[in-house]
């Protein structure tokens, strides 16, 4: 099994009536800007372990489990709203870096969150790194009735027990599931990650540490004009990292693609696009060393740290 080179510690922080679980690597100190790393959909903070182990410098790293993921309880929520991640992040930064900007990294859903947050609170971010957080395809006001109807239908399906997450008889089953989803994930890493991604219940069934209600569609439409307005307010130097094996076209069946995303990025005043070869969407698992290098080089160039 993979052996973590840099061991994290768990901290629990009161945030908006929730007991937020945060993984922390390293110690705060003079001249050390906190490096805050937020995970994506159906992932956990521990997922960054492989990247953390590849960092050459001694960073003070803060990585929360979003609400309803990992060891952060969702308090029985039957659906999750994207703006809550922004509010949670704001409280988290107040706790770990009051009055001082941070280096902020986000993957996938977390990448979308950090981009939006950086447009709302530009003064809180020193450098920004977005790992495959592409946003979503365009929508129109005419899509609203159908979206709300789908949201309500899925809520009912969830309460009927029709939306759930599969349990696994053994932790090896969880590891196999991770490797099936990501063909580049090696067995040693899958075995380690499975124990962070799932836990056994009272009957010994291994359960994913994520609420099934995360699978319910967002009730609100994604509005491109709103995102552009937010991107225009991003003041931090921004690095957008893409994997060589990109699935954006397949996800949106041609309705939204990489050139569309790049066009949106032109709204950011200081932005750079980087690519990671031999990697898919979970590039922090596939190429952690290369990703660690990209992040550290960008921080050093843009902040002098």
Instruction: Give CA–CA dist 46/37, Å, rounded.
Output: 10
Q: Give me the pLDDT at residue 248, please.
A: 87
How would you label 116-141 residue by residue, b for 16+ Cβ within 10 Å and e otherwise?
Answer: bbbbebeebbbbbbbbbbbbbbbeee
- Is pTM beyond 0.85? Reply is yes
The top-level CATH class assigned to 1-138+223-305 is alpha beta
What does the domain layout of the chain look like in residue ranges?
A: 1-138+223-305
Give the tokens for residue 2: 């993979």
Strands 125-131 and 18-25: unpaired
Q: Give me the pLDDT at residue 246, please.
A: 86
How would you label 153-182 residue by residue, b for 16+ Cβ within 10 Å and e otherwise?
Answer: ebbeebeeeebebebbeebebbbbbbbeeb
Helices (H) and strands (E) in the chain, counts: 11, 10
Task: For residue 270, count other CB atoms closer than 10 A to its CB.
Answer: 13
Instruction: Give CA–CA dist 108/70, Å, rounded.
Output: 17
Q: Give me the pLDDT at residue 41, please.
A: 97
Give the tokens for residue 18: 């929730």
Question: Which position has the token pair 């997450």?
Answer: 165
Digit-by-digit pLDDT tens for the chain (305 residues) are: 999 999 999 999 999 999 999 999 999 999 899 999 999 999 999 999 999 999 999 999 999 999 999 999 999 999 999 999 999 999 999 999 998 999 999 999 999 999 999 999 999 999 999 999 999 999 999 999 999 999 999 999 999 999 999 999 999 999 999 999 999 999 999 999 999 999 999 999 999 999 999 999 999 999 999 999 999 999 999 999 999 998 888 889 889 999 999 999 999 999 999 999 999 999 999 999 999 999 999 999 999 88
CA distance to 62, 100, 224, per residue, from 227 (Å): 26, 25, 5
Q: Give me the pLDDT at residue 8, please.
A: 98
The rounded radius of gyration (Å) of the Cα atoms in the chain is 19
């Amino acid at each position: 099994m993979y052996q973590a080179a840099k061991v994290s510690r768990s901290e629990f922080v009161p945030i908006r009536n929730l007991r937020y679980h945060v993984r922390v690597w390293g110690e705060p100190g003079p001249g050390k800007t906190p490096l805050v790393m937020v995970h994506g959909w159906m992932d956990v903070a521990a997922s960054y372990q492989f990247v953390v182990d590849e960092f050459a410098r001694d960073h003070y790293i803060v990585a929360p489990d979003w609400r309803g993921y990992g060891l952060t309880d969702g308090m029985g929520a039957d659906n999750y709203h994207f703006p809550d991640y922004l509010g949670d992040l704001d409280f988290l930064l107040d706790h770990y870096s009051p009055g001082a900007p941070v280096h902020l990294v986000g993957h996938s859903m977390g990448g979308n969150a950090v981009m939006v947050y950086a447009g709302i609170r530009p003064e809180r971010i020193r450098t920004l790194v977005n790992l495959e957080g592409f946003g979503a395809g365009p929508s129109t006001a005419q899509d609203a009735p159908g979206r709300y109807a789908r949201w309500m239908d899925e809520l009912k399906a969830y309460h009927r027990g029709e939306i759930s997450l599969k349990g696994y008889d053994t932790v090896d089953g969880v590891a196999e599931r991770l490797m099936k989803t990501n063909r580049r994930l090696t067995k040693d890493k899958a075995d380690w990650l499975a124990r962070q991604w799932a836990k056994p219940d009272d009957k010994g069934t291994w359960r994913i540490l994520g609420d099934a209600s995360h699978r319910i569609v967002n009730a609100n439409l994604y509005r491109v004009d709103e995102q552009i307005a937010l991107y225009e307010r991003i003041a931090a130097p921004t690095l957008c990292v893409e994997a060589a094996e990109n699935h954006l076209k397949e996800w949106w069946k041609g309705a939204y693609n990489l050139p569309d995303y790049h066009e949106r990025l032109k709204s950011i005043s200081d932005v750079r696009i980087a690519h990671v070869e031999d990697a898919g969407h979970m590039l922090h698992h596939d190429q952690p060393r290369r990703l660690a290098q990209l992040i550290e080089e960008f921080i050093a160039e843009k902040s002098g740290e």
